[in-house]
Amino acid sequence: MVVQNSKGVKMQENKETTEPKYKKTVEGLDQLSLGISIAVAILIGVGIGFGLKALFGQPWLLWVGVFWGVGAAVSNVYKAYKKQKHELDELAKDPRYSRMNQGDNN
């Protein structure tokens, strides 16, 4: 079927929607990246703490870096939670699931 867009250009309408070839792989890597970011945040915090300890000679500065890294890891988890919550809220608005949403109102 040929359709016109808003600029008057004729385009071929594609009836079947095709998903990218590596969509599932990218989604899996996105989930894996959360675990990697947690480990990297803690390691960076430990590295900063170790550097501060070596620079100033105060042993408690190592723990400041550790807690800083753990705080960054918790922040990464919270950001991932907000992103996932937003995606699920958008999915709940999808008309394909309107029958399921109507059952929640009863």
Higher pLDDT, 47 or 92: 47
pLDDT digits (tens, 9 = 90+) for 56-104: 999 999 999 999 999 999 999 999 999 889 988 888 888 887 666 565 5
Give the count of beta carbons closer than 10 Å to the beta carbon of residue 69: 22
